[in-house]
Amino acid sequence: MTQLKLPLPLHGAANPSSTDAGTTPGSFAHAPAVGAALTFSSPDTPGMPAPSGKTAWDFLPEGWRREGAFAVAPEGFEPVTQLEHARLGNVTPEMKRVAAKEKHLTAEQVRDEVAAGRMIIPANKVHLAGKLDPMAIGRASLTKINANMGASPVSSGTSDELEKLEWATRWGADTVMDLSTGGDLDATRQSIIDNATVPIGTVPIYSMIIGKKIEELSLQDILDTLKHQAEQGVDYFTIHAGVLMEHLQFVKDRLIGIVSRGGSLLAKWMIHHDAQNPMYTDFEAICDVMREYDVSFSLGDGLRPGGLADATDHAQIAELQTLGELTERAWRKGVQVMVEGPGHVPFDQIEYNMKAQRTLCHGAPFYVLGPLVTDVFPGYDHITSCIGATAAAYHGASMLCYVTPKEHLGLPKKDDVKQGCIAYKIAAHSADVALGIPGARDWDDDLTRARAALNWEKHFELSFDADTARAFHDEDLDVDTDFCAMCGHDWCSVRISKEIVQFASGKAEGFEREKVLKSPALTPEQRQILEQRGHLSPEEIHRLATKTQKALGAEGDKASCHSDLVPADDAKRIQQEKLVQIGRRQARS
């Protein structure tokens, strides 16, 4: 046996596949024990802040006390929020639904994570009575993605936004934020909530200043708007209560100042009035409105960096510290909390950012935008940011806010929404696999099996975007062969490997084909995908494919070179003669 000069990777986590199949010995992530600060987490690089020793249990409301595993509320108290139910030991229908979706968690584990403040179930009572299908955001659950949409004063309308909502959920968005700043904001928001099965978030300050200047904003305007949107059924609010007067002095050293709309508006309000942020000073009044409907906080990062040069600076970390204090205050009011994070962050600073939040905000879920790891690829920021998002999810984020190719350039259209969602599903899933979330890698393993068997139908079926996968395959070769157009028959390493390892190609259970399949003709949607690529016209694709079929002698039948043609007995005999003997010879030498 060959002696390895280096050890295989640490067995820090269980194999993230739910079966014993696969060859990966384990990952570097911490063991996947649910129920503590290090649940599904990366090992700390030296110098990282340690997890907080506190949880939401340390910030019970006035008059509450711990008794055993749960808490006791004052006489006559009626729980409303998921956090209050969890503290009292109740397993709600929403927690059961979350456990049904997160197959590695029980409803009791969901309850305990919610009680600790490490997980939220954003589910406004009004939306719950409508179409909402509850989900959870937290480190113990799978990594989630959010898609932003919303009309702007120069583009789009309610029907366009509804189409984007449908498109975003089709492509895997776990939550959607309506960030409309134009058109009929109220009607658009109501239509989105009425049609959404996923939680809907908003940044209510946008509606607070419609028809008035930010300087005119009053506490009553804030509370009235929040109440109205809560009544409509919004599941989480971005509240920029962490931007304080004393933070503004640190912005002057930045290259691009304040890039958050909410942050810049509130900074203007504070400078104009020479007064503290009213969302900070009257935070408890805001909590009261939100508690009534169980609207969750998404504590906004109004001072997030807008470029790499401004990342992890004094302003950003000072605000994060305040967000930690606000987390404690919200928990004391029984309101669920997640915290928003940057933005634009060099790759090497991402882990610190995630672990600083874990410390300062006591494990409350972190919801990050990207982060973008470089600033110089406008038009491709779904890629620059999904690289950062993968690292963020591995090191501590629970939800990733997508970035589309239109970021910094214009309002995303339908296809931009799809591209953003797919980039972020890649980031979230990659992190879940690396973190060792049980069962996360099963899908990858299934696709690898189909790929190894050169089972194209299964390969397409398991692809996240089956239409695109099939269209790309069929662009050059719309016949089922034991290779594809990338390398061709003689150079197809998968075919050769299959012949070496399992000569009885295609004869494994589930992969057997009575006769070779000719891939069905492209659907109109697949045709459109290829047309948009602009490489080949549909006629050219057809001509090329037809030519290939003829060349392979595969017109309506099996390609003559397909290794399915080898009889099973011959395959076994060849395996015995060749592979087993090679193994024996090597063992002897």
* Residues binding ligand SF4 (CB under 6 A): 483-484, 486-487, 492-495
Nearer to ligand SF4, 297 or 483 (CB): 483
End-to-end CA distance of the chain: 10
Minimal distance, residue 491 CB to ligand SF4, in Å: 7
One-letter identity of residue 40: F
Nearer to ligand SF4, 125 or 489 (CB): 489
Nearer to ligand SF4, 274 or 490 (CB): 490
Nearer to ligand SF4, 70 or 511 (CB): 511
Cβ atoms of 60 and 363 within 8 Å: the answer is: no
Angle between helices 185-195 and 158-170 (to 10 degrees): 30
- Tokens 């804030």 correspond to what residue? 222
Nearer to ligand SF4, 72 or 452 (CB): 452
Minimal distance, residue 459 CB to ligand SF4, in Å: 9
Q: Under 8 Å CB-to-CB from 120, ≥6 apart: which residues?
A: 82, 83, 114, 136, 137, 138, 296, 336, 337, 338, 365
Query: Cα Rg for the chain, rounded, in angstroms?
Result: 27
User: 289: buried, middle or exposed (CB in 10 Å: 19+, 13-18, 0-12)?
Assistant: buried
For residue 32, which of 52, 11, 49 has the smallest C-alpha distance? 11
What's the rounded Cα separation, in Å, for the pair 416 and 535?
20
Nearer to ligand SF4, 251 or 559 (CB): 559
What's the rounded Cα separation, in Å, for the pair 502 and 134?
45
Minimal distance, residue 568 CB to ligand SF4, in Å: 22
488: three-class secondary structure by DSSP: coil
What's the rounded Cα separation, in Å, for the pair 427 and 391?
8
Minimal distance, residue 283 CB to ligand SF4, in Å: 56
Nearer to ligand SF4, 50 or 500 (CB): 500
Nearer to ligand SF4, 488 or 553 (CB): 488
Nearer to ligand SF4, 261 or 451 (CB): 451
Minimal distance, residue 559 CB to ligand SF4, in Å: 13
- The torsion of the CA quartet 262, 264, 265, 269, rounded to 10 degrees, works out to 130
Minimal distance, residue 134 CB to ligand SF4, in Å: 41
DSSP string, 259-302: --HHHHHHHHHHHHHTS--HHHHTHHHHHHHHHHHTPEEEE--T
What's the rounded Cα separation, in Å, for the pair 66 and 69?
7
Minimal distance, residue 472 CB to ligand SF4, in Å: 11
Minimal distance, residue 426 CB to ligand SF4, in Å: 20
Cβ atoms of 329 and 355 within 8 Å: the answer is: no
Nearer to ligand SF4, 451 or 518 (CB): 451
User: 23: buried, middle or exposed (CB in 10 Å: 19+, 13-18, 0-12)?
Assistant: exposed
Nearer to ligand SF4, 171 or 483 (CB): 483
What's the rounded Cα separation, in Å, for the pair 439 and 456?
24
Nearer to ligand SF4, 161 or 499 (CB): 499
Minimal distance, residue 38 CB to ligand SF4, in Å: 39
Minimal distance, residue 383 CB to ligand SF4, in Å: 22
* 418 φ, ψ (degrees, to nearest 5): -65, -45
Number of H helices, E strands in the chain: 23, 12
Minimal distance, residue 24 CB to ligand SF4, in Å: 21
* 200 φ, ψ (degrees, to nearest 5): -110, 130
Nearer to ligand SF4, 198 or 454 (CB): 454
Minimal distance, residue 447 CB to ligand SF4, in Å: 13
Cβ atoms of 468 and 531 within 8 Å: the answer is: no
Q: Under 8 Å CB-to-CB from 581, ≥6 apart: which residues?
A: none
Minimal distance, residue 461 CB to ligand SF4, in Å: 16
